[in-house]
Amino acid sequence: MALSEQVESSLREAQESLRNALAFAARSEKPYINMHIGKMMHNIDNLISVHDLLETMENREEGSSGRFGWKLGDDIID
């Protein structure tokens, strides 16, 4: 099941807010704080990006060789 438009939109808004927080934190907070804000942004981006790949893997046919063609590239070697 794909991420709903509302969920993806909310995640992108959260990313935007974190980006704003990071801009302010870069001027006044310790590097530890900045690092964790950056990690949160990265995790949100990964969540959005990897969802389609996981859905493809979950929906593959029984006994499939695991090749996904254009989704992962055709240069996969057996």
Which residue shows structure tokens 């808004």?
13
Residue 71 within any structural domain of the chain: no
Per DSSP, 63 falls in state: T
Residue 45 within any structural domain of the chain: yes
Residue 72 within any structural domain of the chain: no
Residue 75 within any structural domain of the chain: no
Residue 68 within any structural domain of the chain: no
pLDDT at 52: 75
The residues of the chain scoring below 50 in pLDDT are 78
Number of domains in the chain: 1
Give the domain range for residue 30: 5-57
Closest to 71 measured CA to CA, from 46, 54, 61:
54
Residue 73 within any structural domain of the chain: no
Do 11 and 44 form a contact (C-beta atoms < 8 A)? Answer: yes
pLDDT at 76: 52
